[in-house]
Amino acid sequence: MSLDEKFNKAAEDVNKLKSKPSNEDLLEIYALYKQATVGDVNTDRPGLLDVKGKAKWDAWSGKKGVSKDQAKEQYVAKVQSLIDSIGLA
């Protein structure tokens, strides 16, 4: 299975988890997904009132410089660790 196939399967599997991951895990998944699909953050940081948006932007910005392939590998590993700990529905 190619890296892209593993990544796409992990992106599907993350929606099938038995329960919702922690906010920290969700931010990590979001940041790795964005880094893998878009690359380095390419938008302005949201304003003070957008707390959720800022947290997501900060998480993604923290992945700056990680290659798309590295981000895909990390994403697949993170989703697998969530599947191992939470399980699939």
Provide the number of structural domains found in the chain.
1
pLDDT, tens only, 3-16: 999 999 999 999 99
Strand partners, 17: 88
Residue 79 · residue 9 · CB < 8 Å: no
Structure tokens at 14: 């993350």
In this structure, what is the dihedral angle of CA atoms 4, 76, 87, 19, given to the nearest 10 degrees? Answer: -100
In this prediction, residue 33 carries a pLDDT of 98
The pLDDT mean for the chain works out to 96
Is 89's pLDDT higher than 90? no
Q: Range of 30's domain? A: 3-86
Alpha-carbon span 3 to 67, nearest angstrom = 13
pLDDT, tens only, 44-88: 999 989 999 999 999 999 999 999 999 999 999 999 999 999 999
- Say whether 17 sits in a helix, a strand or coil: strand
Residue 77: which CATH number? 1.20.80.10
